[in-house]
Chains A and B, each alone.
Chain A
Amino acid sequence: MSRTPTGQTRLKQSKRRWEEETLAPSWKRFPPRLPEFTSISGHPIQPLYGPDDLEDFNPEQELGFPGEPPYTRGIHPSMYRGRLWTMRQFSGFGTAQDTNRRFLYLLQQGQTGLSVAFDLPTLMGLDSDHPTASGEIGKCGVAVDTLADMEVLFRDIDLETISTSMTINCPAAVIWAMFLAHAEKSGFSWAKLRGTLQNDILKEYIAQKEWIYPPHPSMRLVTDTIAFATRNVPQWNSVSISGYHIREAGSTALQELAFTLRDGIEYVEAAVRAGLEVDEFAPRLSFFFNAHNDFFEEIAKYRAARKVWCRVMKERFGCRDPRSSMLRFHAQTAGCSLTAQQPHNNIVRTAIQALAAILGGTQSLHTNSMDETYALPTEQAATIALRSQQILATESEVANTVDPLAGSYFVEKLTLELEKGCWDYFEKIDAMGGMVAAIERCYPQKEILDAAYGYQQAVERGEKVIVGVNRFVVDEEQPIDTLAIESGVADKQLDSLHRVKASRDGTAVRRSLAELRRAAATDENLMPFLLSCVKAYATLGEVCEEMKQVFGTYQEPVF
């Protein structure tokens, strides 16, 4: 595709000729439908892309081969011909027992990995008997207060064969300690455990807003888990650097890409500062992206992400192990794209988004259920969501060849533009002193809010269409069945928490918590201390509170 200057000139001349002689007259019959065409992120889109858009494009450098740097075409040489992506449906509700039952059902339906959703008190490091937990127990995920809950949650699940992802952030180290303690007690070898801890606190400050401690001690907890995983749980993904929530908060595709990768840089820098070698831990960093409605922009985003990360790891961090520069990612379809209006349409949205993630080379995928603007999914809705992936994997034949959109003038051009935009954002954030500093001055937060507000206005002006919301609206909606969390969940959970508290060795709990507090004030790795606490059945809330005494709490600046 790279051509001699004369070749380029000729291409441009012939494009101009086509525009004047063929395109222009056609506008007279069919004037443009819109004053300007943009991606869902507001990025301008041309009427036609051709070889002239890829001037100086060197496929060998820009694309390479799958499984080789810069990994634009995918991180595995054979991609889905060898092994399909992992179909990993995020799920959790009620008590550990309720969720364990759903896990066993999903595995029986052909799901190939687990992904745990925790309830909000757990996500915030609070026990179920904390006053603010009232009304929230088991609502948007499963309640986990102590190791006893973890034991029930994973009952009858072989942790050496099934990989487990845990979406938990500010108290991630504690929940992981519970998981590791359960695995150990069940006789599973830590060396064989495979899974992912989300553990991405930076995107919490930026987008999802679930935090306990200020950024610096929070980053220390992240580096402690990275270091512990490196030495003791080598197949574990210690951080899942997440753009998903950034996008859900209303960012553009480019902001999602740039802020996520810049968060990644921040974690690598922190771990290096903590004394780790890049190649010791970088292969176990993974990423998590959104799969939104704009099909081509999303595909370009994933391709650009791999390419940029590869260059970052090589040039900025001098990694030698090729696995350090491979960006592996999980994708989830966009929750924020789902509509409460005509909810069955969400099945179609999700399928299109899932296809983008697959054509973009994802390693694992969650497809949302159609009823999620109302409540957690019913079993039927969750099954359709899983079936959508299975149809894509088997019937559509899209998994037969690697990176099928490579060489598309449009997709390659978009990939280049997103890549360029990403480097520009890096430069700005570097100039601010890095991502923590940028967060402290609310830079990414403001950028996202502006984008979210701009999109909302475009929808309200009718410039961006949402079917069933501002176009093709019906007056009478047909109600759908939704899942109700049975009211007994809170009582059951409180009951089991009280039983654990009554039966544990109080002295061992107090001793382990005191040890943790002492260590928190030093720079020792906290994982062994957290393991002692949870093995003594200290509660999540007790452990988080103990660290709060040393670390303090975070207050979001007003912006």
Chain B
Amino acid sequence: MSEKPIRVLVAKPGLDGHDRGAKIIARALRDAGMEVIYSGLRQSPEQIVNAALQEDVHCIGLSILSGAHNVILPRITDLLREKKLDDVLVVAGGIIPDQDIPKLKAGGISEIFLPGTSTQTIIKYIEENCGAASD
């Protein structure tokens, strides 16, 4: 069986430097057999979308703890649509209040993982929702 591994961009938009979550997720996804590209800190929406395009990823995992999610996340999903990358699965995690979640999801974020989510839950979600990977 030579299934193509799922390629994931783990990215940190926003100005905060709290990368514990992003780095743990990156390592866990790698341990689960995915190919992971970590963006580094403080990436603009443009940088993230360009990296997704260049790296030809199936999934983008966004980690944001700064409170700027309502501004930054929609900008990323808009840019993805513009670049015709709608088929890329976008998930997010961080400090995000419940009341902001419906709007973010309507904008194109497939799932939002709050603090306390296990890495196994995230791995399973990505595996189940990255149809593109086995193409």
Which residues of A lie under 8 Å from residue B83 when comparing CB positions?
none
With A373-B95, A460-B120, A479-B98 given, is the CB distance from A136 to B67 under 8 Å? yes
> In the complex the two chains form, is B119's CB within 8 Å of A460's CB?
yes
> In the complex the two chains form, is B97's CB within 8 Å of A482's CB?
yes
Asked if A374 CB lies within 8 Å of chain B CBs, one says: yes
Query: Chain B, interface size: which category?
Result: 20 to 34
What is the minimal beta-carbon distance from A40 to any residue of chain B, in angstroms?
A: 15
Which residues of A lie under 8 Å from residue B27 when comparing CB positions?
449, 453
With A135-B71, A139-B67, A449-B23 given, is the CB distance from A456 to B18 under 8 Å? no
B16, B19, B114, B116: residue with the most chain A Cβ atoms closer than 10 Å: B116
> In the complex the two chains form, is A209's CB within 8 Å of B95's CB?
no
B67, B95, B96, B115: residue with the most chain A Cβ atoms closer than 10 Å: B67
What is the total number of residues of chain A having a CB less than 8 Å from a CB of chain B? 44
> In the complex the two chains form, is B97's CB within 8 Å of A374's CB?
yes
Which residues of A lie under 8 Å from residue B16 when comparing CB positions?
120, 140, 210
Asked if B132 CB lies within 8 Å of chain A CBs, one says: no
Which residues of B lie under 8 Å from residue A524 when comparing CB positions?
none
In the complex, per-residue mask of A107-146: 1 if CB is within 8 Å of any chain B CB, else 0? 0000000000000110110100000111110011000000
| Chain A, residue nearest B116 (CB) | A469
Asked if A250 CB lies within 8 Å of chain B CBs, one says: yes
What is the minimal beta-carbon distance from B28 to any residue of chain A, in angstroms?
A: 8
> In the complex the two chains form, is A375's CB within 8 Å of B95's CB?
yes
What is the minimal beta-carbon distance from A465 to any residue of chain B, in angstroms?
A: 12
Which residues of A lie under 8 Å from residue B18 when comparing CB positions?
208-209, 248-249
Asked if B40 CB lies within 8 Å of chain A CBs, one says: yes
Among A135, A248, A250, A456, point to the contact of B119 (Cβ < 8 A). Answer: A456
Asked if A436 CB lies within 8 Å of chain B CBs, one says: no
Which residues of B lie under 8 Å from residue A336 when comparing CB positions?
20
> In the complex the two chains form, is B20's CB within 8 Å of A250's CB?
yes
Asked if B72 CB lies within 8 Å of chain A CBs, one says: yes
Query: Which residues of A (130-168) have their CB < 8 Å from a CB of B?
Result: 132-136, 139-140
> In the complex the two chains form, is B67's CB within 8 Å of A485's CB?
yes
What is the minimal beta-carbon distance from A117 to any residue of chain B, in angstroms?
A: 12
In the complex, per-residue mask of A455-477: 1 if CB is within 8 Å of any chain B CB, else 0? 01001100000101110000000
> In the complex the two chains form, is A139's CB within 8 Å of B66's CB?
yes
Query: Which residues of A (308-323) have their CB < 8 Å from a CB of B?
Result: none
What is the minimal beta-carbon distance from A284 to any residue of chain B, in angstroms?
A: 27
Question: Measured between alpha carbons, how far is A135 from B104 in the docked complex, in Å?
Answer: 14
> In the complex the two chains form, is A482's CB within 8 Å of B99's CB?
yes
> In the complex the two chains form, is A452's CB within 8 Å of B115's CB?
no
| Chain A, residue nearest B71 (CB) | A135
Question: Measured between alpha carbons, how far is A353 from B68 in the docked complex, in Å?
Answer: 29
Which residues of B lie under 8 Å from residue A136 when comparing CB positions?
14-15, 66-68, 71
Asked if A347 CB lies within 8 Å of chain B CBs, one says: no
Question: Measured between alpha carbons, how far is A338 from B27 in the docked complex, in Å?
Answer: 23
Asked if A406 CB lies within 8 Å of chain B CBs, one says: no
Among A123, A139, A250, A466, point to the contact of B116 (Cβ < 8 A). Answer: A466
Question: Measured between alpha carbons, how far is A479 from B101 in the docked complex, in Å?
Answer: 13
With A249-B20, A375-B67, A456-B24 given, is the CB distance from A120 to B97 under 8 Å? no
Which residues of B lie under 8 Å from residue A19 when comparing CB positions?
none
Asked if A95 CB lies within 8 Å of chain B CBs, one says: no
Which residues of B lie under 8 Å from residue A248 when comparing CB positions?
18, 20
Known A209-B41, A250-B20; further 9 A-B contacts with Cβ < 8 A: A134-B68, A336-B20, A373-B95, A449-B24, A453-B27, A469-B116, A482-B98, A484-B99, A485-B67
Query: Which residues does A use to contact B, with CB under 8 Å?
Result: 120-121, 123-124, 126, 132-136, 139-140, 204, 208-210, 248-250, 336, 338-341, 373-376, 449, 452-453, 456, 459-460, 466, 468-470, 479, 482, 484-485, 556, 558
8 contacts between A and B (CB under 8 A): A124-B15, A133-B15, A135-B71, A136-B15, A209-B17, A373-B115, A374-B97, A482-B98
